[in-house]
Amino acid sequence: MLTDLQVTNFAIIDSIHMEFDEGLNIISGETGAGKSILLKSLALLMGEKSQADTVGSQSNQATIEGRFDITDREDILERLFEAGIDAEDSSLVVKRVISSQGKSKVYINGSLSTVSTLRDLVSPLITVTGHVAPLIEMTGQHDNRHLQSKSYHLDIVDQFANCRSVRDRFTELYNETQNLEQQIEDLREKEMEREQRLDFLSFQVDEIRGLNLQPGEETSLETEFRKLSNASKVMEFAGLAEQVLGQDEDSALTRIQRVISRSTELAKFDPDLSTKTQGLEQAVTMIEESLYDLRHYCDEFEMDPSSQAAVEERMSAFKKLQKKHGETAEEILQKLADMSAELDELADSEALITDLEKRVKQNRLELKALGLQLHDKRAKSASGLSQKVNSELVELNMKGVNLVISVEETGMNSKGMSDVEFLIQNAKGDAPRAIAKYASGGELSRILLALKKIIGHDEHPRTYLFDEVDTGVSGPTAEKVGRKLLQISEGQQVICVTHLPQVACFADHHFLIEKSNLKAKTQMQVKSLGKEDQVLEIARLISGEKITKTSTEHARELLAFR
């Protein structure tokens, strides 16, 4: 529950400090005194977006700070622990600092945080629906408009039926099925595009595979191409070498052999001379071997005259692939692998469609089973909920008025297979009619209050903020609304803004909002009322600005009746 509220420099609030307690906390005051501003400050503790124009005109920043006792809220203590926020004394302190430039800071137990985290922690949902219970929940005087929404009717019934987990599973499976069906539709629509892509990839893959490339082949192919391209020059060189070294009458071999022959003749006279010319004999051998190698090398060219054309053709094909897929054989082979994988994927698309359709069929079977289960729970719970609400309505002075909850089976949507609508029956024998069209504002307020009473009491006690939920009621009915608020506050906390004395008299703690002009500045002040002050305030609510003896006596009677 909210134990302390401190607000400074916020709109017409200069500085206030309020201490709340368990039970029913009533806030009253004259019209325009600032009750709505106080509720705005409380809304900021719930994670509402801040606005720069709410900062006091003579201030640079506004501060709103609230302390909550969360001893009985293990769920929130656990969420604080998960967020790494210390809460050793089971307290939650929320602080909002708003600058006049529009910037805002959020502190949770002294740690800088975000508005999103604050909202998720303190008030994840501000209606009675949802599987995460808020710490503080606000119901404004216009919130009965929720009762005009069939979606809200469904949420209410589901929470009462305690079928949130089944509904969540249904919604998850429904959305998954929708996505699968969209995938199938996309695949079908792209059938022609797929066929064109298949043809294109098949051609590219066959083209690369037909060349039977080897890693690093671009280097050897380039070398072979250059060699064959210059074959005529090699042959010409070989012929020249043959003539110069061996065939001409004055060739190198002829001259060397003459020298060797003459040295042999002279060796008769000088034996050492033969040793000096041994290198010439080796030169003859080397020249002859070189000429032999050249002849053999040239014979290979002559043996396969088509090799040059074949290499040129392969080189041309390789250069064509280079322009499309990459500079090196490795890059081209990687592109081949990628396209082959895509081909396999495209070829398997029909199998994929079959698999997706199979999953959709299985999901639809499960969805139907879950939908019927949900519908059955809703139908059974709707009867029990309407009975409880109608019992509460009797206590709220709505005898003869019944809430009827219609639950009809429909086609499938993300929330199930049920159409749920709240209807109102004004008298026995009357046909139930849509609550959105035929219930008055006062009736809607009391029906909403009854729903809060029935559904709001769960394992998580919380703080309820009611902003003139008693709108549209008066007299004995107002007294019954006040008693119902008191019942809701049992074991919890209710903070209620009211203008009705029949409601205010049930207060466990009563606060008076007043507006004053100090130092030429309008300021809002809050006063915690003792017993006598409470009598005077209730008397004011009865008679207006002029408090009379009669209104004072009436106020005492109301408090005694409580």
Same domain, 108 and 28: yes
Spatial neighbors of 485 by CB under 8 A, at least 6 apart, are 24, 449, 466, 469, 494, 496, 503, 506
Which runs of consecutive H residues, i.e. helices, occur in 114-211?
A: 115-122, 150-161, 164-189, 191-211
Residue 3, amino acid: T
Using a CB cutoff of 8 Å and minimum separation of 24, what contacts does 525-534 make? 525/16, 526/16, 526/18, 526/38, 528/18, 528/19, 531/559, 534/504, 534/507, 534/510, 534/559
CA dihedral for 71, 76, 82, 85, sign (positive or negative) = negative
**12 in any annotated domain:** yes
Tell which of 327, 360, 376 closes a domain: 327
Q: Is 58 helix (H, G, I), strand (E, B) or coil?
A: coil
**84 in any annotated domain:** yes
Q: What is the DSSP string of 138-165?
A: EE-TTGGGGGG-HHHHHHHHHHHHT-HH
Q: How do residues 128-164 score in pLDDT, each as one tens digit?
A: 334 456 677 776 555 566 677 888 899 889 988 988 8
Residue with tokens 């690369």: 208
**pTM of structure:** 0.63
Same domain, 110 and 7: yes
Spatial neighbors of 318 by CB under 8 A, at least 6 apart, are 211, 213, 217, 218, 221
| Number of domains into which the chain is organized | 3
User: What is the CA 135 to chain-centroid distance, rounded?
Assistant: 23
pLDDT of residue 303: 47
Give the chain's length. Answer: 562
Residue 158, amino acid: D
CA distance 78 to 195: 56
Q: Is 550 helix (H, G, I), strand (E, B) or coil?
A: helix
Same domain, 69 and 115: yes
Tell which of 327, 348, 369 closes a domain: 327
Beta bridge partners of residue 407, listed in sequence order: 420
97 within 8 A of 104, measured Cβ to Cβ: yes
Tens digit of each residue's pLDDT, the chain (562 residues): 899 999 999 988 888 999 999 999 999 988 777 888 888 888 888 888 888 888 887 788 999 999 999 888 888 888 888 888 888 788 899 999 999 887 889 999 998 998 888 888 876 533 333 445 667 777 655 556 667 788 889 988 998 898 888 999 999 999 999 999 999 988 887 766 777 887 888 888 888 888 888 887 777 777 777 776 666 677 777 777 777 777 777 788 888 888 888 888 887 888 888 788 888 888 888 888 888 888 777 776 654 556 667 777 777 887 888 888 888 888 888 888 888 888 887 777 778 888 999 999 999 999 999 999 999 999 999 999 999 999 988 888 888 889 999 999 999 999 999 999 999 998 888 899 998 888 877 788 788 888 888 876 555 788 888 876 777 777 888 888 898 899 888 888 999 989 899 999 999 999 999 888 766 667 888 999 999 999 999 999 998 878 889 999 999 999 987 7
Same domain, 469 and 541: no
Which runs of consecutive H residues, i.e. helices, occur in 326-465?
A: 329-347, 349-395, 435-438, 441-456
Q: What is the CATH number of the domain that holds 118?
A: 3.40.50.300
**522 in any annotated domain:** yes
CA distance 505 to 551: 13
84 within 8 A of 11, measured Cβ to Cβ: no
CA dihedral for 76, 80, 81, 87, sign (positive or negative) = negative
Same domain, 111 and 229: no
Same domain, 294 and 311: yes
Task: Measure the CA dihedral 135/141/143/149, to 10°.
Answer: 160
Q: Which domain holds residue 242?
A: 217-327
